[in-house]
Structure 1
Amino acid sequence: MFRHALPLALPLSLSLLLMACGNGEPVQQAVRPAMVVQPLPAADAVDTFPGEVRARYEPELAFRIGGKVAKRLVEVGERVKKDQPLAELDPQDVRLQLEATRAQVAAAQANLKLVRAERDRYRTLLDRKLISESQYDNVENQYRAGEARLKQIKAEFNVASNQAGYTVLRASENGVIASRRAEVGQVVAAGQTVFTLAVEGEREVVISLPELGIDRLKVGQDVAVELWSLPGKRFPARIRELSPAADPQSRTFAARVAFARDKVPAELGQSARVFIRSKGEVPLSVPLSALTAEAGQPYVWVVDPTNSTLKRRPVRVGAYGEDRVPVLEGLSPDDWVVAAGVQVLREGQQVRPVDRANRAVKMVAKE
């Protein structure tokens, strides 16, 4: 019987021995730090849109006549001066037309000289009463027709001469060649765009606005622009132009933002961000990293200032921004919200609140 009781007594004794080694108290988990932030007021909630720096005036340059491109004298990105030649058409056809018109002018001048002499002779005969009035009137009409014909041909010659000059495309202003749409050997029509010129002077930022909330924006509205080359520095600006119709492909509305200052270190083609301040319809906003969801219901973790424990707080949010999300309901400006690692937290968990610099945050309990 003793042999049967020995296997049962051994595990029990070992258990008693292990309990004797400890003090019987549960092991406490270390309080983990949690980075916390307070929701931003509506004055600090802004929408951000990417954009590109462009010139305010961008004329599309084209030949005034059609023809075959014989020379291209500039490249994209090259700075040009006013009246500088940019491209040339094959002038052969225009020169032939000019020579033909010149020959017609010479013929009209010779004909006018002949009918003038004829009229002078008939006038002498008329004075001597050797011809009738009707005969003289006939010669006088021939002279007037020859004179009108010469004026017509001279006008055509001037047109042909101008067209000979139109074979050279020149810059309308000082600026930079922004784009090229024709190559040597290509046949272009009159008015077909060959170059786009970015005129020197004012610079703007072109952005695309979504359909949602376009009615909240208007021409003249104040905004801020940040250049990627100067991070953290924002320049005051305003919406100068807003397209009345959406782009058929992207379904966005084009807008041009003009700088409020004359001297801004913005170069053509630079990337920029335009910040448009909300107008009070978004009371608060939190970082995107502070938001999580369960069963489609978004919520945040709020720290209780009395004991530094976590409470799940359901919220109603608006349209997501680039790094923040507007909170329409569920938070107050005095709340402290966990801004990172929200997926591994649990209800009632005690934390040690810290800021982004890992400094302890002192919370004041609400009265």
Structure 2
Amino acid sequence: MFRHALSLAVPVSLITLLVACGNSEPVAPPPRPAMVVHPLPAGDAVDTYPGEVRARFESELAFRIGGKISKRLVDAGDRVRKDQPLAELDPEDVKLQLEAARAQVAAAEANLKLVRAERDRYHTLLERQMISRSQFDNVENQYRAGEARVKQIKAEFNVANNQAGYSVLRATQAGVISRRLGEVGQVVAAGQTVFTLAADGEREVLISLPEHAFERFRIGQAVSVELWSQPGKQFPGSIRELSPAADAQSRTFAARVTFADGKVKAELGQSARVSIKADGEVPLSVPMSALSAEKDKPFVWVVDPKSGKVVRTPVLVGAYGQERASVLQGLKEDDWVVAAGVHVLLDGQQVRPVDRDNRPVALAGKE
């Protein structure tokens, strides 16, 4: 009897609990997470090229004379100051040339002293009319030749003296050694590049443009630069230089992109990505997963930044790609579009915006 009464009491208590719950206010479900993205320019209207941060001014440093490198004082990546020694040549040959030039100067000056004394004697004899004028003119010409010889030899000595200084390669300005092409023991010719110096100051991005699309670009064209070290940040810039000839191996044209703000923190050698928009109006695009349709009328879900609710927004769709579709009308660049799970949403539904990594997204204007 006790067991039977207990079995009846339990269902009654459950019914009482359910009735009590039914009298309370309904609990609102929590906001559904929704992955949101901004519309992007259509892929066929924006070209993106990888690049490398370079110095605007790069100097190829070389010795002004040939010789054997005896000392290398810096390496690639080292920061140098103006006139800092970078490398030295074996000075023995230069010293011997300087000594030879100095000896020639001494010989020329001794010869000049001799012909000057000879001219003075002949001048005295000419005044006494003991020699002819032609004899004196001959000695006078020898003296003038001696003077010219001294000037010539002294000039050659100055050249040799300068070359002695050329045996030390110095930095032409402050900067960073970006490349080293010489090593101790290597014999280099005059003018052969030993170092490449990236001067301090403005930075640029070097990119390579394909041959088939080269005519689409021009000097001064606006671009957008994204540094891999600062993902998500777009820095405005422009094309400063276009190479007139293609590279012999890659068949691409080098282009240099300068930042609109010269204070952008870009270090030498950093990777960058340059986006170049096509001329004219650029359509937007959204992921294919963001599109829905009802009665052949496409629409997307746009999140209201103030209320956090989704709004059904009709759009005019253009060309379809493999992953994205062009949107010709209905969206703005700053709209937040739901990119996944659109088939379970309802108009006016509260959502919790997240990005592709499931991190909360702060919508502009949302309190």
Q: What TM bracket, shorter-length normalisation?
A: 0.7 to 0.9
Are the structure 2 counterparts of residues 356 and 223 from structure 1 closer, same or farther at C-alpha, using a change threshold of 3 Å? farther
1:186 matched residue in structure 2: 186
Matched length: 299
Distance across 1 between alignment mates of 2:170 and 2:164: 13
Residue equivalent to 2:119: 119
**Structure 1: segments with no counterpart, 5+ residues:** 1-32, 291-299, 342-349, 360-367
Deviation for aligned residue 1:206: 0.7
CA drift at 1:47? 2.2
Equivalent residue number for residue 88 of structure 2: 88
Residue 144 of structure 2 aligns to a residue whose secondary structure is helix
Aligned to 1:304: 293
Structure 1 window deviating more from structure 2 (39-48 vs 89-98): it is 39-48
In the alignment, structure 1 residue 109 sits paired with structure 2 residue 109: yes
CA distance in 2, matches of 1:170, 1:140: 47
Q: What's the CA shift for 1:238?
A: 0.9
Deviations along 1:100-133, one digit per CA (max 9) or x if unpaired, are 1100000000000000000001001100111110
In 1, the alpha carbon distance for the partners of 2:291 and 2:226 equals: 33
Is contact 1:34–1:353 with CA below 8 Å preserved after alignment? Answer: no
Identity %: 69
In structure 1, what is the Cα distance between the partners aligned to 2:284 and 2:298? 23
Q: Tell me which residue corresponds to 1:166.
A: 166
Cα shift at 1:230: 1.5
**SS of corresponding position for 1:213:** helix
SS of alignment partner, residue 207 of structure 1:
strand
Query: Could you state the TM-score of these two structures normalised by the residue count of structure 1?
Result: 0.72
Deviation track 1:188-238 (CA, whole Å, cap 9, x = no partner) reads 000000000000011111111122322121101111212122222222211
- Distance in 2 between residues matched to 1:326 and 1:282, nearest whole Å: 13
**What are the within-5 Å matches in structure 2 for residues 171-320 of structure 1?**
171-280=171-280, 283-287=283-287, 290=288, 302-305=291-294, 316=319
* 1:293 match: none
TM-superposed deviation, 1:248:
2.0
| 2:25 match | none
Checking the alignment, whether the CA contact within 8 Å between 1:82 and 1:173 is kept in structure 2 is: yes
Q: Deviations over 1:237-267 (max 9, x none)?
A: 1110011222222222111011111211111
Q: Is the 8 A contact 1:67 1:90 kept in 2?
A: yes
TM-score by length of 2: 0.72
- Aligned counterpart, 2:50: 50
Residues 290 and 340 in structure 2, CA contact (< 8 A), matched pair in contact too: no
Shift in CA distance, 352/211, structure 1 to aligned 2, threshold 3 Å: farther
Residue 362 of structure 1: aligned partner: none
Contact 1:119 1:140 in 2 (8 A): yes
Shift of 1:333: 3.2
Gaps of 5+ in 2: 1-32, 300-315, 332-336, 356-367
Over aligned residues, Cα RMSD in angstroms? 3.5
